[in-house]
Amino acid sequence: MPSQQDTLLGAHMSIAGGIPKSLDRAVDVGCNVLQIFVKNNNRWRGRALHDPEVHEFRQRWAESPILQVVAHDSYLINLASPKEDHWERSIAALLDEMDRCERLGLSHLVTHPGAHVGAGKAWGIDRIVAALKRILERTASYRVKIALETTAGQGSTLGHRFQHLRDILAGCGSPERIVVCMDTCHVFAAGYDIRTQEGYAGVMDEFDQVVGLEKLEVLHFNDSKRSFGSRVDRHAHIGQGHIGKAGFRWFLNDPRLVQVPKLLETPKENKGEADRRNLKVLRSLLDKPAP
């Protein structure tokens, strides 16, 4: 059974004041893994990432207890967009973020698959595949992986069914550099019930059969403000939403997921107090056998 020492637990941290400062924030609240943005997440173009900042980040990371760092891409990116200019801009933006991740030495760049905006599911999946193929070709020498995130299914977003992820991976030839990030709030809102041990086992079995558990390389830990199957993405603190503490116990004590980083994206409060509290709750669920 996983122990507190084995488990990779962390949170998304701000890069305000420079990317190296995210490491300080993560260590301060007790993380051993970290997620960041590599530029402003609500703008197409970010400030230049200069060599001194890259060097400082890598050096301070090497001296810290942080074992792994992943990034989340800009919210403006939509690889399924039916608008040609938006689609091309999304590809260019993701390529820029891949470059930043590679320079910083990050393991994964998490991205939402995209929204077809009325063009249809099959068309949207084909559009995502075409974008990813181009991105993979342009970054063939890179080590950073793209992690497709499960979604809640709001509007026309794709990725709320495991089959969507399977079809995208198959369309790309299931390359090693495209994997999956599972968000607990999103899968719950999308209709995958992880609240009970039996429900969790069924969801993970389905994921394994449809996508493959070996493709699951990042986890986002968020409780859900909205009810099961709502298809609404609203994050809550651990144990204060409709999933409840028990739902996270199954993930934390699953020996198959020991090496998968588990990252909070819960609301921020009072200079890290919420992150400290949520991490404490998660650690209290470790090494607890099912009742």
Return the pLDDT at 15.
97
For residue 180, the cross-strand partners are 148, 216
Classified as helix, coil or strand, 264 is strand
Instruction: Quote helix, strand, coil % in the chain, to nearest 5.
Output: 40, 15, 45
- Name residue, tokens 């990030």: 181
- Is residue 65 in a domain? yes
Buried b (16+ CB within 10 A) or exposed e, 82-111: beeebbebbbebbebbbbbbebbebbbbbb
Six-digit token pair at 258?
């020991």
Six-digit token pair at 190?
């999308």
What count of other Cβ atoms lies within 10 Å of the Cβ of residue 232?
A: 15
For residue 56, the cross-strand partners are none
- Is residue 152 in a domain? yes
Buried b (16+ CB within 10 A) or exposed e, 252-280: bbbeebeebbbbbbbeeeeebebbbbbbe
Look at residues 190, 205, 185, 191 and name the one whose alpha carbon lies nearest to residue 247.
185
- Residue 51 to residue 251: CA distance in whole angstroms: 38
- Is residue 51 in a domain? yes
Antiparallel, parallel or unpaired: β 262-264 and 216-221 = parallel
- List of residues 6+ apart from 182 with CB closer than 8 A: 149, 150, 207, 216, 218, 219, 220
For residue 221, the cross-strand partners are 264
Return the pLDDT at 291.
47
- CATH number of the domain residue 127 falls in: 3.20.20.150
- Is residue 205 in a domain? yes
- Is residue 4 in a domain? no
Are the CB atoms for 261 and 33 separated by under 8 Å? yes
- Residue 253 to residue 111: CA distance in whole angstroms: 26
Buried b (16+ CB within 10 A) or exposed e, 199-221: bbeebbeebeeebeeebbbbbbb
- Residue 74 to residue 61: CA distance in whole angstroms: 23
What domain count does the chain have?
1
- Residue 25 to residue 99: CA distance in whole angstroms: 24
Q: List phi, psi (to 5°) of 252.
A: -65, -30
Length of the chain equals 291
Cα→Cα distances 154→86, 157, 233, Å: 20, 6, 7
- Is residue 207 in a domain? yes
- Is residue 2 in a domain? no
What is the chain's pLDDT, residue by residue, as a tens digit (291 residues)? 555 567 999 999 999 999 999 999 999 999 999 999 999 988 888 899 999 999 999 999 999 999 999 999 999 999 999 999 999 999 999 999 999 999 999 999 999 999 999 999 999 999 999 999 999 999 999 999 999 999 999 999 999 999 999 999 999 998 999 999 999 999 999 999 999 999 999 999 999 999 999 999 999 999 999 999 999 999 999 999 999 999 999 999 999 999 999 999 999 988 899 999 999 999 999 986 554
- Is residue 3 in a domain? no
Q: Which domain holds residue 50?
A: 9-284
Return the pLDDT at 289.
53
- Residue 34 to residue 107: CA distance in whole angstroms: 11
